[in-house]
């Protein structure tokens, strides 16, 4: 049984990643911690509960975490994910926030890892604020984690939020810096460029959504807004690696679920630019080992996309 703790800023692709993990029988989600990012922390908590409701898994504990970055800022991604983070397609029967645990996300993260030393993998698909706070409160946390999987950062200067910054890192550069420099457990990173180069064809997406299930109907509703944004990006913005559908957070989740999915990684020391006029929040890869860091991370380069498609399909079955 794989034990996961998932930290999300539940936008549409976080929902897709969660649904992927919830559909795998050999995966046990010990808790879902919420963090600011794509939308407000209240919306993130509500969105996670909506996902758990459609997957009939409301017994999984949900914890509220940081409402802002370490510097007190929020970014938001309403243009893409919808103002509520899930495509502005509300469910009048959505579960209420009273289902969120009283314990805070950071303390729950530390406690759950403590209760299962060496067994828990943390999957972080939002800004890294909760994860950074957790390691500051408990510096021994990384040693007790099995693996850390992150969706975020970039390998060249290609941003998707600022000129050079990927959303999750740009939303809290200090938190990303702390995590990349203090987590000495095995760390796997699905970067923005990696997800762009691993796009799935739009006709796969059509078949995925056409499944005759409540989960597929839910996904069709919440995905409409961002799907239209991605499709208009085809025309308006630079296209990275051609057309196709990207579920960014699902690439990191799949790595945590299936040990045979990663085919190729680069093992490099990385950090985050905290200053700079244009590059604040950019992940920096130390190709020449000039930083003399002993700890290196695994940057995903190639994965088994056929296995990924099966995990995606099963998420909505």
Catalytic residue numbers read 9
Q: Which residue in the shown chain puts its C-beta closest to ligand BDR?
A: 167
List of E strands, 10-152: 27-34, 62-64, 120-124, 148-151
Binding to Ca ion (CB under 5 A) within 109-168 occurs at 125-126
Residue 162, CA distances (Å) to 12, 165, 278, 310 in order: 20, 5, 8, 33
Q: Is 33 in the site for ligand BDR (CB under 6 A)?
A: no
Among 63, 149, 188, 192, binds ligand BDR (CB under 6 A): 192
Shortest reach from residue 81's CB to Ca ion, in Å: 9
What CA–CA distance (Å, rounded) separates 236 from 29? 39
Shortest reach from residue 43's CB to ligand BDR, in Å: 13
Contacting residues for 160 by C-beta, under 8 A, at least 6 apart? 166, 167, 192
Q: Smaller CB distance to ligand BDR: residue 166 or 273?
A: 166
> Residue 108: which of Ca ion, ligand BDR, none does it interact with, CB under 5 to 8 A by kind?
none
Binding to ligand BDR (CB under 6 A) within 90-149 occurs at 125
Count of positions on this chain that bind ligand BDR (CB under 6 A): 14
Q: Return the SS3 of 266.
A: strand
Q: Is 166 in the site for ligand BDR (CB under 6 A)?
A: yes
* Closest listed residue to residue 47, CA positions, set 13, 16, 15: 15
What CA–CA distance (Å, rounded) separates 296 from 271? 10
Among 16, 33, 38, 230, binds ligand BDR (CB under 6 A): 38
What CA–CA distance (Å, rounded) separates 52 from 50? 5
> Residue 167: which of ligand BDR, Ca ion, none does it interact with, CB under 5 to 8 A by kind?
ligand BDR
């Amino acid at each position: 049984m794989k034990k996961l703790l998932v930290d999300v800023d539940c936008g549409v692709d976080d929902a897709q990643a969660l649904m992927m993990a919830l559909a795998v029988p050999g995966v046990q989600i010990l808790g879902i911690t919420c963090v600011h990012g794509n939308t407000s922390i209240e919306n993130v908590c509500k969105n996670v509960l909506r996902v758990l409701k459609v997957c009939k898994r409301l017994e999984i504990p949900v914890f509220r975490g940081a409402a802002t970055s370490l510097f007190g800022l929020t970014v938001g991604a309403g243009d893409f994910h919808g103002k509520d983070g899930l495509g502005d397609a509300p469910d009048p029967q959505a579960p209420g926030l009273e289902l969120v645990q009283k314990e805070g996300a950071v303390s729950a993260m530390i406690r759950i890892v403590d209760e299962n030393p060496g067994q828990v993998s943390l999957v972080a698909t939002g800004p890294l604020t909760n994860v950074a706070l957790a390691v500051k409160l408990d510096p021994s946390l990384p040693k007790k984690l099995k693996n850390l999987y992150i969706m975020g950062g970039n390998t060249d200067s290609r941003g998707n939020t600022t000129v050079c910054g990927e959303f999750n890192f740009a939303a809290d550069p200090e938190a990303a810096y702390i995590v990349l420099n203090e987590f000495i457990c095995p760390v796997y990173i699905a970067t923005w460029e990696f997800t762009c180069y691993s796009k799935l064809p739009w006709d796969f997406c059509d078949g995925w959504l056409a499944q005759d299930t409540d989960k597929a109907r839910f996904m069709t509703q919440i995905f409409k807004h961002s799907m239209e944004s991605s499709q208009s990006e085809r025309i308006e913005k630079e296209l990275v690696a051609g057309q196709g559908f990207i579920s960014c957070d699902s690439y990191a989740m799949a790595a945590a679920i299936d040990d045979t999915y990663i085919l190729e990684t680069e093992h490099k020391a990385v950090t985050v630019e905290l200053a700079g006029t244009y590059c604040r929040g950019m992940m920096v890869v130390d190709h020449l080992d000039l930083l003399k860091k002993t700890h290196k991370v695994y940057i995903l380069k190639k994965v088994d996309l056929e296995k990924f498609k099966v995990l995606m399909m099963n998420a909505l079955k």
